[in-house]
């Protein structure tokens, strides 16, 4: 029987790029479908009040990235924090990417703040520092596109770190075998990262944007990380 993944969409490409790139929910579907074509998807635009009927409607959930901050006082963010806590209590599998990674940590007792080191853009490398059964045992590091100015600065007590870098000390973590979260964007292509950086050049600053664009010459490990996400889901579904 095919499993279903509910994608809680909380962000989209900026208006300047909307005619060239699909939304974050669809980017995520494409990423995971390439790793496992048997998974079915259903997207929910949480910002527009499209809330799922309950946590057990799907076999697992994923929270996308967003231009919003996890600590903003918005009704849909408060709703999502409560939903995260309910998923955690019921041990229903949950994946968090960027904003999702941050909001899960905050909802479960951690902390999220603006990073003093400023914006992270382009391709960054993080080293594997912890263990999880769905991560390749020979993995030492991974490269992915990043786009964030906030970071998890304190993990909740229930969480264990998996990966870290000098720029982003909490790059990836898990909670038991039912939550898997990462700061980077495996669903973002290098082409989208380049165009997103150009749109934000005035906001972030030319020097950092130029360095970020130069980093896009590096290949990313997006397909490998997609396999980790699928392996995490399969592990959770068979536990």
Is 160 a known active-site residue? no
The CATH architecture to which 4-238 belongs is 3-Layer(aba) Sandwich (3.40)
**Contact between 51 and 79 (Cβ < 8 Å):** yes
Is 178 a known active-site residue? no
Q: Which DSSP helix (H) or strand (E) runs through 223? A: helix 222-238
Name the catalytic one among 12, 29, 125, 187. 187
Give the pLDDT of the chain (239 residues) as one tens digit per residue.
579 999 999 999 999 999 999 999 999 999 999 999 999 999 999 999 999 999 999 999 999 999 999 999 999 999 999 999 999 999 999 999 999 999 999 999 999 999 999 999 999 999 999 999 999 999 999 999 999 999 999 999 999 999 999 999 999 999 999 999 999 999 999 999 999 999 999 999 999 999 999 999 989 999 999 999 999 999 999 87
Render 24-62 in DSSP notation, one character per residue: HHHHHHHHHHHH-TT-EEEEEEGGGT---S-TTSSSEEE
Paired with 144 in beta bridges are 124
Structural tokens at position 61: 């959930």
| CB within 8 Å of 157: residues ≥ 6 apart | 109
**Contact between 63 and 103 (Cβ < 8 Å):** yes
Name the catalytic one among 58, 98, 148, 174. 98
Is 185 a known active-site residue? yes
Residue 1: what pLDDT? 59
| pTM score, whole prediction | 0.97
């Amino acid at each position: 029987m095919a499993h279903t993944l509910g994608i809680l969409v909380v962000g989209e490409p900026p208006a300047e790029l909307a005619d060239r790139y699909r939304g974050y929910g669809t980017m995520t579907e494409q990423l995971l479908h390439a790793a496992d074509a048997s998974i079915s998807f259903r997207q929910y635009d949480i910002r527009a009040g499209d809330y799922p009927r309950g946590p057990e409607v799907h076999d697992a959930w994923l929270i996308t990235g967003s231009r919003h901050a996890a600590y903003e006082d918005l009704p849909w963010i408060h709703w999502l924090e409560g939903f995260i806590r309910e998923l955690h209590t019921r041990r229903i599998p949950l994946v968090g990417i960027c904003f999702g990674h941050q909001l899960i940590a905050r909802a479960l007792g951690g902390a999220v703040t603006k990073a003093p080191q400023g914006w992270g853009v382009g391709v960054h490398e993080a080293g594997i520092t912890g263990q999880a059964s769905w991560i390749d045992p020979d993995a030492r590091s991974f490269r992915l596109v990043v786009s964030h100015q906030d970071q998890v600065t304190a993990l909740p007590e229930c969480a264990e770190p998996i990966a870290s870098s000098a720029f982003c000390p909490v790059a990836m973590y898990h909670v038991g075998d039912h939550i898997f979260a990462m700061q980077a964007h495996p669903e973002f292509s290098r082409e989208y990262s380049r165009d997103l950086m150009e749109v934000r050049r005035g906001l972030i600053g030319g020097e950092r944007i130029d360095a970020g664009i130069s980093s896009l010459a590096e290949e990313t490990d997006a397909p490998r990380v997609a396999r980790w996400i699928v392996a995490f889901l399969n592990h959770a579904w068979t536990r």
